[in-house]
Amino acid sequence: MANLSPPRAAAARHPVLEVSDVVAGYGAHTILHGLDLRVEAGEIYALLGANGAGKTTTLSLFLGFVQPGRGRVRVNGADPLSHPTAARRQLAYIPENVALYEHLSARENVAYLLDLAGQPAGKQAVNEALAAAGLDAAAHERRVSGFSKGMRQKVSIALALARKVPALLLDEPTSGLDPKGTAEFNRLLALLRAQGVAILMVTHDLLSAADVADRIGFIDGGRLVEEVAASGSQRFDVRALHRRYANHEAQR
Ligand code: ATP
């Protein structure tokens, strides 16, 4: 079996992803105005907001692509600006459109990307990670050039599983997925959560977020304006959330 044991952050519940009072933007254009956000080990956090609200900019903070003018950003304790290598080692990032080496197979992609990450793994371990991510065995040796969005995501998830990262960032993971693909993807997120991964996804897909997230936050004008935690068997009141979501957007 591949060693898919819990990642380093699983031992204690603490904010793996942390943004405190961050002001940041692009040149003179300030996008985040005092943002506070925390995602703990073993938690799925969905960040929703209108176009241009600052969701992707928030992910960019953790990746070290955007430098805050004020405030604190940490990835499992590492500052992405002063310690970029340490911070990136803690992270997997799955963009809306997953970029892979098109002429390589799924297994070769994961093996190569693991090598690049400095965490080489044998063929069997890679195949086991791909299987754990739900990719059919028949697809492991196929070139990824013909893969659907859902299959590409599975390759990325396999990489995250094999790297045992404590934190996962996702940008619009379910856009373009059909309901079955979305449900399957959410099942994978739940698997990562069970392993203690802190998951932050930015999305417009309220239904999918309500399905899988432990907390949903709304960002507006670069601030977190509302945060709702799942509770009870119904988890979220989706109608009420939708009204509030539409309301936040209408007020813009
Ligand atoms: P969407 O839902 O449309 O993806 P978002 O909430 O993810 O929106 P961001 O991508 O964070 O929003 O963008 C916030 C603002 O920052 C937008 O006005 C955008 O035009 C601007 N912006 C984003 N990236 C850059 C950049 N590299 N340089 C300059 N401005 C940028």
Output the pLDDT for position 249. 63
Return the best residue to mutate from 33, 56, 61, 62 for the ligand 1 pocket (most ligand atoms within 8 A of CB).
56
- Mean local confidence (pLDDT), 181-199: 92
Question: What is the overall mean pLDDT for the chain?
Answer: 90
pLDDT digits (tens, 9 = 90+) for 201-245: 999 999 999 999 999 999 999 999 999 999 888 888 888 888 877
Report the C-alpha dihedral over residues 106, 110, 111, 116, rounded to 10 degrees: 140
Ligand 1 centroid – CA 204 distance (Å): 14
Give the pTM: 0.89
Output the pLDDT for position 234. 83
CA distances from 154 to 85, 197, 244 (A): 25, 16, 32
Residue ID of nearest Cα to ligand 1 atom 11: 54
- Contact assessment for residue 76 and residue 8, using Cβ atoms and an 8 Å cutoff: yes
The answer to whether the CB of 222 is under 6 A from ligand 1 is no
Structural fold of domain 6-90+166-252: Rossmann fold (3.40.50)
The answer to whether the CB of 56 is under 6 A from ligand 1 is yes
Output the pLDDT for position 4. 46
Output the pLDDT for position 250. 62
Q: Rounded to whole angstroms, how far apart are CA atoms 193 and 168?
A: 10
What residues does each domain of the chain span? 6-90+166-252, 100-164
Ligand 1 centroid – CA 56 distance (Å): 7
pLDDT over 70 for what percent of the chain?
92
251 pLDDT higher than 80: no
Residue ID of nearest Cα to ligand 1 atom 15: 52
The answer to whether the CB of 90 is under 6 A from ligand 1 is no
Compute the half-sphere exposure of residue 219: CA atoms within 13 Å on the CB side of its CA.
28
Q: Rounded to whole angstroms, how far apart are CA atoms 158 and 10?
A: 18
